Amino acid sequence: MNIYNQIFKVIKKYNTIVIARHIGADPDALGAQFGLKNIIHRLFPDKKVYAVGNPASRFKFFGNNDKLDNSIDTKKSLLIVVDTPDLKRIDGASTSDFEYVIKIDHHPIIDKFGNIEYVDDEACSASQLILEFAYENKIELTKEDGELLFLGIIGDTDRFLHDYTSVKTFELVTRLLKDTNVDFTSLYKNLYHRPLAEVKFEGYIYSNITITENGVAYIKLTDKLMKEYGVDSAAAGNMINDLKFVDEITIWIFLSEDVKSNLIRANIRSVGPYINETASKFGGGGHIYASGARLKSWEEADDLIKAYDELMKDYKKLN
């Protein structure tokens, strides 16, 4: 019995199942969460399945998130956490409230948790893991499952651009497309359509980004600036990958002020040194080439820039 069969066995056992993902939901987290919810719901219509967490208005086409109410006895329920390596970033559920916890993730481990902890940090996405879970358990997918999981994979790989897009990814996606007949080109608009204001804002970023001598590019995006451009604090995060192939840039950081949450969000990417360890020193984390952090102040943001500049200095000496 492989790990996916073991997970399926536990799912069969529980009548109430809560599926959680990380805060700041992105397409992969949502694709994995709603894809799994759909599958369980269809196979076991009598089970109660909740997909929890704060809704992400930008990605509402994935589905509506559920609220946990008092009628749910979590002590007799199963919690499945997808796409989340750390306890503090689980959105809408607490592992200690549940009888049984399963973690399914593709990030390097930060916190070890879960009665079953399944982590494949070489998988391109959590959605790929859910797709594998389905095929390993001979579960037939519907078009809707296919759409959710396809969009999750597309989101995290940026259309098969990033590392960890593998032969396995293409094999699984090919099978998904054949089995479910997903009209995939028509799905892209869900992820990529955006207002002109955001395109202009991206123009601002490109024109004003600072690049250090060591190849760290960064930009500070204040609340005032974002208001002027008519974009929200999450806008920059959706553009961060677009600087992947720029001659002068090895590490790049977007710092966006989020007044509502009283923090500065850092999106960090690299095509050189691993960046997740430095991010974790600032309370963040992520993948080796794609990380993030939530910072308390612009002073801390400056410290983060300095830390990455040091990292780049060392990297340049060795390369």
Burial (CB count within 10 angstroms: exposed 0-12, middle 13-18, buried 19+), residue 10: middle
Nearest by Cα to 235 from 250, 225, 245: 225
Interface segment toward ligand AMP; rule CB under 6 A; list 58-66, 137-145, 216-224, 278-286: 278-286
User: Does the footprint of ligand AMP cover residue 286 (CB under 6 A)?
Assistant: yes
Ramachandran sector of residue 262 (left: φ over 0; alpha: ψ -120 to 50; beta: rest): left
Give the integer Cα–Cα distance in Å for 184 and 307: 41
Work out whether 291 is an interface residue with ligand AMP (CB under 6 A).
yes
Q: Is 290 in the site for ligand AMP (CB under 6 A)?
A: yes
Match 């006895």 to its residue by tokens.
Answer: 73
Burial class, 99, CB count within 10 angstroms (exposed 0-12 / middle 13-18 / buried 19+): middle
Q: State how far Cα 114 lies from the chain centre.
A: 19
Q: How far is the CB of 288 from ligand AMP (least distance, A)?
A: 10
Q: How near is the Cβ of 121 to ligand AMP at its closest, in Å?
A: 11
Distance CA(306)–CA(295), nearest Å, equals 14
Cα distance between residue 210 and residue 85, in whole Å? 31
Site string for ligand AMP, 37-76 (x = CB under 6 A): ----------------------------------------
| 237 near ligand AMP (CB under 6 A) | yes
Select from 102, 221, 226, 293 the one that contacts ligand AMP (CB under 6 A).
293
Q: Between residues 53 and 292, which has the closer beta carbon with respect to ligand AMP? A: 292
Residue facing ligand AMP at closest CB distance? 292
**Least distance between ligand AMP and beta carbon 202 (Å):** 15
Dist. CA 30–CA 58, nearest whole Å? 11
Q: State the minimum distance, in angstroms, from the CB of residue 144 to ligand AMP.
A: 25
Least Å distance, CB 216 to ligand AMP, is 16
Residue with tokens 């607490």: 94
Provide, rounded to whole angstroms, the least separation between the CB of residue 241 and ligand AMP.
8
What six digits make up the tokens of 21? 């993902």
Binders of ligand AMP among 204-233, rule CB under 6 A? none
Q: Does 267 bind ligand AMP (CB under 6 A)?
A: yes
Choices 42-50, 125-133, 289-297, 307-315; region in contact with ligand AMP by CB under 6 A: 289-297
Scanning 94-102, 121-129, 157-165, 280-288 for contacts with ligand AMP by CB under 6 A, the matching segment is 280-288
In angstroms, what is the minimal distance from the CB of 21 to ligand AMP?
10
What is the distance between the alpha carbons of residues 273 and 318, in angstroms, rounded to a whole number? 11
Residue 285 binding ligand AMP, by CB under 6 A: yes
User: Nearest-CA neighbor of 22 among 53, 49, 66?
Assistant: 53
Task: For residue 37, give every residue at least 6 positions away whose Cβ sits within 8 Å of its Cβ, in sequence order, or none.
Answer: 19, 49, 50, 51, 63
Q: In terms of CB distance, is 42 or 194 closer to ligand AMP?
A: 194
Residues 97-156 that bind ligand AMP (CB under 6 A): 107
Alpha helix (H) ranges present in the chain?
Answer: 3-13, 27-43, 126-136, 143-157, 167-180, 184-192, 196-208, 223-229, 276-281, 298-318
Shortest Å distance, C-beta 222 to ligand AMP: 18
Least distance from C-beta 197 to ligand AMP, angstroms? 20
In the complex, the residues that contact ligand AMP under the rule CB under 6 A are 22, 89, 107, 237, 240, 267, 284-287, 290-294
